[in-house]
Structure 1
């Protein structure tokens, strides 16, 4: 799999960009803040319909514009598909496949598969549970595109139910208990059903991923302790022990429904939804200790790398070689980890790399070099300065 064409219009710092890409390695070189990461982020968005840097789409639209547009032509085993996405600063986004509009943007999921390595990956080990949930949800979206719809629907129901919980206490004091309880019953049924689908998909993917994580960590840090990854549900061990997948949905739904009933009084008191996949986590363990709080800086980086390397292996095991993207990550690694990462990515069908300093890139990583800069004429924006592959200085994009 590789991206052959990438076109951006009013996407972050790029008012206009047109790239023809090829299999193999392409390196984007430029100082920090010049827009290199934005290029890789746009491809992550095509693959997962979410940014790896922000939680909503508004920052993706260039200041002064109403929409941003991404067009990516993806070739996979001789089959070529073009995804066109229109991202709205406000309102709904739109999508098309080979110029044909689709009813739901999530229909484009699965056309492009990517794995991004970035300095922010350290947060997968040291950060909040939300970082780890985002990580597994991105994998689910690429491996099980249909499951992404359940996650989107779950988020909508969660917002509605949470809004009701915030006002439920006051409404009950006004004598509106019957109305509050009957409405909560409706939302509870939907939350349990959709939450079970989300959780079952996550569980299945984490169980598939786990052996790859252990193997990747052992390759990066052969003298360290064993690394393991497991799913931890806020609903309890009955869910954690489930096999995951579609056959587990009914059982997980029943557990979630029971927990929602048990916690209803406490949820109304606190005005919060206390159980569901939005409160779940991944447990990362080194030896017998949780990596968060016990792993050294080097061990944390090795674990973060192993999660990404394992993601590549999992997608490959599913039959597709994903586009691998390294966002200025070599600058964060010591010489040994740089070498390991460079060795692992040697066989990638397409490798896209960004670097602020070309010397940070190991000598074994060759390929095309594209120099990225900014224009100070008018509003500051990103532009291509030089493309070594064509030996030319193209006009401003």
Structure 2
């Protein structure tokens, strides 16, 4: 797939800017806080309808404006698609493909696929379990767009169940675990949560060997990477009804604690993705360089898995990440990319790139939300 054009209106610090991409690699050069990352964020939103910055829509819209719009023209094997995402200050979004409004947003997902790699991704190793869950969910949305709907359903039930527990927290002793209304929320949580768990498990099973192979390649086979999905619900059995029953059993076990604390303690919102190198937790292991090798292996594995599933190479968005990698890892990444993936790269200077890369790349200069060729 190839992103031909991108137009940003009233988005972040862009008033009205159109970019035409004419090479497989585009390098966006500029000082910090000029808008380089904002452009990559726009592409990420078209791919996943999510931002790794976790911003609210109103934060993406220019001050004084009621809406922001992202337009793109994308060329794929099946033809050219014009994509439009409109963000409104009231939080209501709309999406369109070839000028036709798409009623269900999940039908917009999967048209454009992209993998984002930024310095923030080092938190995949060092950060909280929530960071790894968000990373896995974002990947899953691209592998299986219906997952966005499944995750939304689960989060909706979780919010409503939490509100019920909070409301009844003070009268927890009077509210026994057989309460009919609570039992309804339990059943819905187990049903929706099981769908999330099974898809997360399946995705990690596919990703783990690919990431391990990349990691072995980058580390010279001196280190063994293992990625393991560690769900909050026991997953000895794979059948949906068995997972669902295990879910309900654990809810029963934690019922008193949930009522006492007024929040849901059971479910995929408490899952973990365990990353180990040579059987040692990665966050405790070795140098920052080794942690960067792990994240690089994860990102290369994402690219490969998405390409295998969608049958076309996704876009690669590199947000100021070369500065975080030493020359050896930079070369590993750049060699893996070649011209196989259309790549948008942000940088504050061009010295990280050799002459061959610079000669085969489109170089765009970004200053205060305006893009120029020289």
TM-score (norm 1): 0.89
Shift of 1:257: 1.7
Q: 1 CA distance for matches of 2:300 and 2:262?
A: 40
State the 1:323 CA deviation: 0.5
In 1, the alpha carbon distance for the partners of 2:305 and 2:268 equals: 22
Unmatched segments (≥5 aa) in structure 2: none
Show CA shifts across 1:292-314 (max 9, x none): 12232111000011100100111
Q: Deviations over 1:47-88 (max 9, x none)?
A: 111001125333222222222211122111141112211112
- The Cα offsets for residues 273-301 of structure 1, whole Å up to 9 and x where unpaired, read as 11111110110010111101223211100
d(CA) in 1 for partners of 2:156, 2:312:
31
Alignment correspondent of 1:373: 367
Match of 2:26 in 1: 26
Map of 1:120-199 to 2, 5 A cutoff? 120-172=120-172, 177=175, 181-199=179-197
**Distance between the aligned counterparts of 1:383 and 1:313, measured in 2?**
33
Q: Following superposition of structure 1 onto structure 2, how do residues 292-311 of structure 1 map, counting pairs within 5 Å? A: 292-311=283-302
Secondary structure of the equivalent of 2:345?
A: strand
C-alpha distance 146-274 of structure 1, shift in aligned 2 (>3 A): same
Using the TM superposition, name which of 99-108 and 360-369 deviates more: 360-369
Q: Is the 8 A contact 2:23 2:362 kept in 1?
A: no
1:123-156 deviation line (CA, Å, top 9, x unaligned): 0011111111111111110010112110011111
Check the 8 A contact 1:371/1:387 in 2, yes or no. yes
Does the CA-based 8 Å contact 1:172-1:180 persist in structure 2? no
Question: CA offset at residue 320 of structure 1?
Answer: 1.8
1:317 aligns with 2:308: yes
Q: For 1:242 and 1:69, how far apart are their aligned partners in 2?
A: 46
Structure 1: distance between partners of 2:215 and 2:350: 27
Matches within 5 A, 1:34-49: 34-49=34-49
Work out the CA distance in 2 between the residues paired with 1:163 and 1:365.
54
Query: Quick one: distance in 1 between partners of 2:170 and 2:178?
Result: 10
Q: Secondary structure at the match of 1:360?
A: coil
Paired position in structure 1 for 2:370: 383
SS, match of residue 117 in structure 1: strand
Residue of structure 2 equivalent to 1:99 = 99
Q: Judging changes above 3 Å, is the alpha-carbon distance between structure 1 residues 268 and 191 closer, same or farther for their aligned structure 2 residues?
A: same
8 Å contact from structure 1 (residues 124, 131) kept in 2: yes
Cα drift, residue 179 of structure 1: 11
Question: In the alignment, which residue of structure 1 is the partner of 2:113?
Answer: 113
- What TM-score does the superposition give when structure 2 sets the normalisation length? 0.95
**What is the match of residue 268 of structure 1?**
259
The answer as to 2:351 corresponding to 1:359 is: yes
Cα pair 1:122 1:300 within 8 Å, conserved: yes
Partner-residue secondary structure (3-state), 1:50: coil
Flag structure 1 segments of 5+ consecutive residues without an equivalent. Answer: 375-381, 389-397
User: What is the aligned-residue RMSD (CA, Å)?
Assistant: 1.8
Larger deviation: 302-311 or 65-74? 65-74
